[in-house]
Amino acid sequence: MVYDLVNLEKGLATIAEGDMGYRIPTEREDELGRVIKSVNTMAEQLQQKITQEREIENSKMELITGISHDLRTPLTSIIGYIELLQSASFRNEEEYQRFVQNAHSKAIHLKKMLDDLFEYTRLAWKEAQLHREIVDLTQMVNQLYFEFEPIAHELGITTVKNIIPTPIYTQVDSEKIARAIDNLLSNALRYSLTPSTIQIVMKQTETRIMIEIANEGMPLTKEQERRLFERFYKVDPSRHDHGMQSGTGLGLSIARSIVELHGGELHFTHLGKWFTFTIELPLLALEDTDGLEE
């Protein structure tokens, strides 16, 4: 017993000095043995907590670094174009208009990145308020497709639409769901091969509505696939060559948070060169839609 008490004393001293990986050896099954096991359990829990705190701290540093890098790039471009305009470093009216247009484009891009960051922060802290209303998802997806199709065509990408022709009603925050779908469409554009095809499909069951967005792209590694929904994570830029401005790496994370906030799910499947994101949302019961078409 004295031997084990001495080991307990030495073990507590070792743990107190910061060695949370140390465990006090014992084979006792009596009260002293239970005390030693409790100390070991305490040390293990403290070690886990310290590890979690370190991961949180690293995550904060990555967050700050990611934000600084992503916001600095368009801001530097805007400052550069404004300095050129201030010093009248343009040869003619055409070049002047090009500088103004480029600065405006970078400013819009910067605003979108800040909007993404603000939206992600609200969603991450569960501060987002849903303004639910009964919405025809068929009409919403058709409208988003109408805006999306010309951009895809300009990039040499074919679009295929297979959307249910009849109204599909559910109760959602229309602005947020539209943003989630738009984020997935933008992601499909950014990482599609050229030429290739992007497919938009709607399916329905008795209780769920599914919106699938599939595109053809370069295969992902298992590590890239695992990290796809991480905030600020961006896959290798060489996977796309459309000249689109880079995003914050928050688009997919925002889309998933919005869908889950609605009680739905966002799934991802990767088969060969095909990438499919599927939004699943609850469907309103038929009696809830009585009189909507009137």
Closest-CA residue to 199 (of 184, 219, 209) = 184
Q: What is the pLDDT of residues 77-133, one digit of tens each?
A: 899 999 989 988 888 889 999 999 989 988 988 887 788 777 777 777 666 788 899
Does 201 or 127 have the greater pLDDT score? 201
Burial readout 68-83 (b: 16 or more C-beta within 10 A, e: otherwise): eebeeebeebbeebee
Query: Residue 280, exposed/middle/buried by CB under 10 A (0-12, 13-18, 19+)?
Result: buried
The reply to whether the predicted model has a pTM over 0.95 is no
Q: What is the pLDDT of residues 143-182, one digit of tens each?
A: 999 999 998 998 899 999 999 889 999 999 999 999 999 9
Closest-CA residue to 247 (of 63, 66, 123, 82) = 66
Give the pLDDT band (50/70/90) at residue 231: low
Cβ within 8 Å of residue 207, ≥6 positions away: 282, 283
Residue 227 has pLDDT above 50, yes or no: yes
Give the pLDDT band (50/70/90) at residue 250: confident
DSSP letter (8 states) at residue 221: P
Closest-CA residue to 51 (of 27, 23, 20) = 20
Compute the 3-state secondary structure of the chain and give helix, strand, coil in percent, each to the nearest 5.
55, 15, 30
* Distance separating alpha carbons of residues 228 and 250, to the nearest angstrom: 10
| pLDDT of 126 | 63
| pLDDT of 125 | 66
Determine the residue type at 77: S
3-class DSSP state of 155: coil
Query: Residue 262, exposed/middle/buried by CB under 10 A (0-12, 13-18, 19+)?
Result: buried
Q: What is the pLDDT of residues 40-90, one digit of tens each?
A: 998 899 888 888 888 877 767 776 777 777 788 788 889 999 998 998 888
Does 121 or 204 have the greater pLDDT score? 204
Give the pLDDT band (50/70/90) at residue 221: confident
